[in-house]
Amino acid sequence: MFELTGKTAIVTGASRGIGKGIALKLADLGANIAFLHFRDGEKADETVKELEAKGVKVKAYDCNVADFAASEQVVNDIIEEFGEVHILVNNAGIVRDKLMLAMEETDFDAVIAVNLKGTFNMTKHLCQHFKRKRRGRIINIASIVGINGNAGQANYAAAKAGIIAMTKSVAKELGSRNVTANAIAPGFIKTDMTDAMPEKAREAALASIPLKRAGETEDIANTVAFLASDEASYITGEVIKVDGGMAI
């Protein structure tokens, strides 16, 4: 449907889960893929093989997105290796769920560092490149809890709300250079992250979804593919919920 042949996409957190689904989808559409993961070498190797089988150029980078200097280095390495980068998908994320009363400073800091600062770091290091090339697509993976909040996720919800506000700000700053920035707010998607939830919390989440099923990584990947495509060139600063109606 959409065509990305000759484009290069950076996807953070693509060794597994939603990021992997996004990388596979963009590769199906012809995009070369540079992806980041954090100390997940075995799964990253598998993902590289699956992506290479699609006939595109692929390279995995073990890099902590929360590290400002390391993420700058990796962006420079990718530009040197791939040439122009057209699409940045900020997907890497972690949770440290606890009620506010029990939440430690380290739980808060870790979640903000990876989810929010990681998105800042990658966007910051690529925006000059996008500006110079006068085109670029930034797609940030937020969450419906960044819109509605969620008990037990004050750190994560704050990070995701921050990502949404950052997306809108960047969209305003870079629009005149033909760079769009949009966010996707997934609901409950079946991945290692949600498999690790307590059974009761998982059941409650599923019960609250009007479409009565968990989302698949492909549901998010399809929306990323659209936002990365020429067909979405007039959409910026938008937040698209992909949640089976969970946050209606």
Quote the CA–CA distance of 80 and 139 in Å, as a whole number.
Answer: 22
Six token digits for residue 159 = 């990070």
When binding is defined by CB under 6 A, the residue of 17, 136, 162, 244 that contacts ligand NAI is 17
| Helix (H/G/I), strand (E/B), else coil: 133 | helix
When binding is defined by CB under 6 A, the residue of 15, 123, 167, 229 that contacts ligand NAI is 15
Quote the CA–CA distance of 185 and 241 in Å, as a whole number.
Answer: 5
- Position 150: which residue type? N
11 contacts ligand NAI (rule: CB under 6 A): no
Mark 115-154 with x for binding to ligand NAI (rule: CB under 6 A) and - for no binding: --------------------------x-x-----------
Quote the CA–CA distance of 110 and 156 in Å, as a whole number.
Answer: 10
Q: Which is nearer to ligand NAI, 93 or 162 (CB)?
A: 93
Q: Which is nearer to ligand NAI, 161 or 189 (CB)?
A: 189
16 contacts ligand NAI (rule: CB under 6 A): yes
Mark 67-106 with x for binding to ligand NAI (rule: CB under 6 A) and - for no binding: ------------------------xxxx------------
When binding is defined by CB under 6 A, the residue of 10, 11, 24, 36 that contacts ligand NAI is 36
Six token digits for residue 48 = 């590289």
Residue given tokens 């940030």 in the structure block: 140
What is the side-by-side order of every strand in the sheet holding 32-37? 58-62, 32-37, 8-12, 87-90, 136-141, 179-186, 239-242
Residues of the shown chain interacting with ligand NAI in the complex, contacts defined by CB under 6 A: 12-19, 36-38, 40, 64-66, 91-94, 114, 141, 143, 186, 188-189, 191-194
